[in-house]
Amino acid sequence: MQVSFLHVERISKLGHLGEKLAEERLRAAGFETVQNLNQGINFPYADLLATRSGQRFLVGVKSRNEFQSSGKINPCYNAVLIGDAKRRQLEAGGKSEADITAMLWKEVDVLAQRFDATPAWLALAMRPNEGTFSAYFGLASVIRHRRSIPMRISDRKSYLEVAPIGTKDTRITPDLLNRS
């Protein structure tokens, strides 16, 4: 797949907006402090540091279009990533998918320890044509056996909803829409 400048620009805008919305929604959900960690440095996985009821969370923000360009719901959002070359190298060295997944989550744990925090995530499902979104918070421990966050409607019932489906925001515009 050829990656165009517009595709990269859309993804960047989606990510930046997602981080801003995540900060706002965490505050509205009772998190006392919310700090954006992407000020001059971009940490792998981690975007925000947030505190609620005395517990600190290292939060990875995952913003996606709720629906794929085919019209089907986007069933899961990547939580931890590994480049293809590194993955192939590890597989050639005998590492299984489960081994690699465990290694990726271990890296998240090490980063979280640096911040004395619990690894967590916040997933935003955006509907650009409607100018709406929904957002869900969860602990990384719930999804550690996989590299993605399940995001079907039925999956979301087990997460902390910080913005219900249909939450309006004028910053969510049709230019964020997936294009085939």
Tokens of 141: 């421990």
For residue 1, name the pLDDT band (cuts at 50, 70, 90).
very low
pLDDT at 7: 52
Domains annotated on the chain, with CATH: 5-176 (3.40.1350.10)
> What is the per-residue pLDDT across 143-152, written as a single tens digit (0 to 9) for each?
999 999 999 9
pTM over 0.75: yes
SS3 sequence of 67-85? ECCCCCECCEEECCCCCHH
Partners of 145 in the β-ladder: none
Cβ neighbours of residue 104 closer than 8 Å, sequence gap 6 or more: 80, 81, 82, 147
Token pair 């995540």: residue = 22
The span from the CA of 106 to the CA of 144, in Å, is 10
**Per-residue pLDDT for 54 more than 90?**
yes
pLDDT at 5: 43
